[in-house]
Amino acid sequence: MSVADIRQSLTRIQISCTLPCMAPNAAPKVIVDPAPRVADPEAGRRSRKKQRTRDDLIAAGDYLFATQGFDATTTADIAERADVSQRTLFRHFPTKESLLYGDLDDARLQLRASLAARPNDEPILTSVRKSMLSLAEDFEQNRDRRLLQARLAATSPAVSAYSRAVVQFSWEREIIAAVAARLGVDPLEDPRPEIVAGAAMSAVRIAMRQWTVSGGTADFMTLNGAALESIAAISDLAR
């Protein structure tokens, strides 16, 4: 089974897990990988304008979320500050939550590339740990945004739910696909890829919580590394 086939299977799992939670008369909302937000140096004027609009919307959302709170901020407020219509806003971001995390698809793609680049003969847990540490570099480079996202996730149920069900699940799915491909197994039948991915994401959440409590002053790379290192020690608990 190829990595692409594994990702498709995992997408079907996410859809099936999402549908039962919907209201009886609601239209099904299929969750798929969002379009990669990767700047193209040769993109035309229209593409560059779309990128600027997207960046302006994210910046407007950040300011308003930080100054007046997530729940108190409306999409109309964000559109007005970015000087665009709400229709334009919704073309880029269907919800406030997706706008708040609008820059993190690049991080997901970075994680995918890092996992794919690890040596095949490297222990799987080592590959996952080093790939997740490469993702942690993004948090250091974008400290203020990541701290804002973490604080809002800790105080807003809607943000917390989106972070877990969409953002973190997309990272977890990348790890599952990479580990399943390395093991040559179907993750729908073999539980190991999902167990490894779940443990890795739990480690990241622990490091994120510790980092947020410190007000972003602690070294996230160190916290994340320590949490990820503890995964290998779990087997000692069975002795």
Q: What is the pLDDT of residues 104-161, one digit of tens each?
A: 888 899 999 999 999 999 999 999 999 999 888 888 788 899 999 999 999 999 999 9
Residues of the chain with pLDDT under 70: 1-43
Q: Is residue 142 part of a domain?
A: yes
Q: Is residue 65 part of a domain?
A: no
Residue with tokens 């599952």, as numbered in its chain? 176
- Torsion, Cα of 165, 116, 38, 146 (10° steps): 50
CA-angle at 222, arms to 120 and 111, nearest 5°: 40
Q: Counting Cβ atoms within 10 Å, is residue 52 exposed (0-12), middle (13-18) or buried (19+)? A: exposed
Q: What is the pLDDT of residue 97?
A: 96
Under 8 Å between Cβ of 55 and 61: no
Q: Is residue 70 part of a domain?
A: no
Q: Is residue 69 part of a domain?
A: no
Cα separation, 26 vs 5, whole angstroms = 29
pTM equals 0.78
Q: Is residue 91 part of a domain?
A: no
Q: Is residue 43 part of a domain?
A: no
Q: Is residue 9 part of a domain?
A: no
Q: Is residue 161 part of a domain?
A: yes
Residue span of the structural domain in which 162 resides: 105-238
Q: What is the pLDDT of residue 5?
A: 63
Under 8 Å between Cβ of 110 and 78: no
Q: What is the pLDDT of residue 182?
A: 95
**In CATH, what number is assigned to the domain containing residue 197?**
1.10.357.10
The structural domain count of the chain equals 1
